[in-house]
Structure 1
């Protein structure tokens, strides 16, 4: 569940079968006067729009029942609730939910159409705020992906350090220093600075140097962790490993940054 604010009206957005559904109940609060969802649903143009959408998106849509409803739409006596619409036609575009966040929700395609009934201006702002929400979700997704990517070869790397570089009898504090030193071998090879140097240069930022790395840089880091583990197993001295890893980082970044698909990686 998420919330967006459109012209001082807070509107709930939920996920339903991986699709975004927007609260029509919340949207109604932005319309002046006493109006209900059924006022919009009884309109013939609304029924025709919903029917077209359901035929495209819903293989189980009851077209026969829809034709009956369509024939009555627009008449003075015609009334239709969201529940009746869903039950009679097996519609999926509009749903009713109970509980704390209950109300009538509609697929974003239908919700944007409903917004026009409130006002053209409201529709424009709704689309803009919804897109802003989607952009924020993508940023969060990218951050999570980057963090997960940075962990791909972490276990292999730390196991190599433990087996080859840490003596059998050391304290936990001493072992952590060795792990940190090896992590900084990668940091220096990739970024040209240690974690401590980065923190001192960026006291205003939270997290660590890898939190602010690009996807391309994290791909290189993941590869370098694996390569460094192999070099450690082979007994290559730390200084020599640093030089080789730096060369690898330069070559791999050159390939990634010049790749025709680099926009997919960033």
Structure 2
């Protein structure tokens, strides 16, 4: 779970990532209306029948475990003078995932961005526009940073590619072969790495993705590019050691699995995203 903060008209709005989705603090947004009792603002918003209908529709679209029967009973009661509904009650009764309650230092009520923008609109149309603007700026900044990281890793992979091809040239390419035969050996070794990491050859990827530009490596994640760079260096070393291709594939595949798991589980790396 990763946290970010954006400044919207002087208010600090917390954003957290849950299951690859952005959840924005309703508690922070509510301070625009009532700085002292923001939770009451959220409860008042949830009294409206239109709001309950919106929340229920969102859950029906995005949540297979949403309890429709319990939702119907709440919808029936919504709008009456005696009706009250808290985020916690909504979550417990319907098994909702669009709204969550967090405890601790950065606790409060958070909602999926679709719901948070709807809440912000109820608070103030102008505030909603500023919230969307700052949220998009955050996403643009994150995207630019990821693009820079990806470009760096792609460049590193290309540098190691030359180390890799030099090892192939010195150890695997016999003298006197044709240019076509030489090209086949280079491609064969490149696909060795593709199979070890992506579990498919470049040709297989192209056949599966006929509408995509570039190649299998252009579509790689940052983690995959890091591992690819390592595999190119390691394969060059294994070629120098005269290991046959089948043995090298086994070793490289095990290394790829281990390194990918390590990178994906590494919290420090995930914070960079």
TM-score, length basis structure 1:
0.59
CA distance in 2, matches of 1:126, 1:85: 25
How do 1:219-234 residues align onto structure 2 when only pairs under 5 Å count? Answer: none
Structure with bigger gyration radius? 1
Partner Cα separation in structure 1 for residue 25 and residue 80 of structure 2: 27
Alpha-carbon separation, structure 1, partners of 2:164 and 2:138: 41
- State the alpha-carbon separation in 1 of the partners of residues 26 and 166 from structure 2: 57
SS of 2:135 mapped into structure 1: helix
Q: SS in structure 1 opposite 2:110?
A: strand
Q: 2-side partners of 1:43 and 1:124: how far apart? A: 22
Matched, 1:25 2:27: yes
- Structure 2: distance between partners of 1:48 and 1:160: 61
Report the alpha carbon displacement of residue 156 of structure 1 after superposing the two structures with TM. Answer: 4.4
Cα deviation for residue 40 of structure 1 reads 0.7
What corresponds to 2:188 in structure 1? none
Aligned length: 170
Hey, what does 1:122 align to over in structure 2? 127
Aligned residue for 2:22, secondary structure, equals: strand
Q: Are residue 12 (structure 1) and residue 17 (structure 2) matched? A: no
- Structure 1 residues 50 and 163: alpha-carbon distance in aligned structure 2, compared to 1, 3 A threshold: closer
Q: For each residue in 1:137-196, what CA deviation from the matched residue of structure 2 results, as whole angstroms up to 9, or x when unmatched?
A: 1101100100110111333435778999xxxxxxxxxxxxxxxxxxxxxxxxxxxxxxxx
Unaligned runs of at least 5 residues, structure 1: 165-214, 227-266
Runs of 5+ unmatched residues, structure 2: 170-213, 219-224, 226-231, 233-273
What residue number does 1:82 align with? 87
**Distance in 1 between the 2:78 and 2:52 partners?**
7
Q: Please give the secondary structure, in 2, of the residue aligned with 1:36.
A: helix
RMSD: 2.7
How far did 1:129 drift? 0.8
> What is the aligned partner in structure 1 of residue 108 from structure 2?
103
In structure 2, the CA distance between the partners of 1:101 and 1:39, relative to structure 1 (3 Å rule), is: same
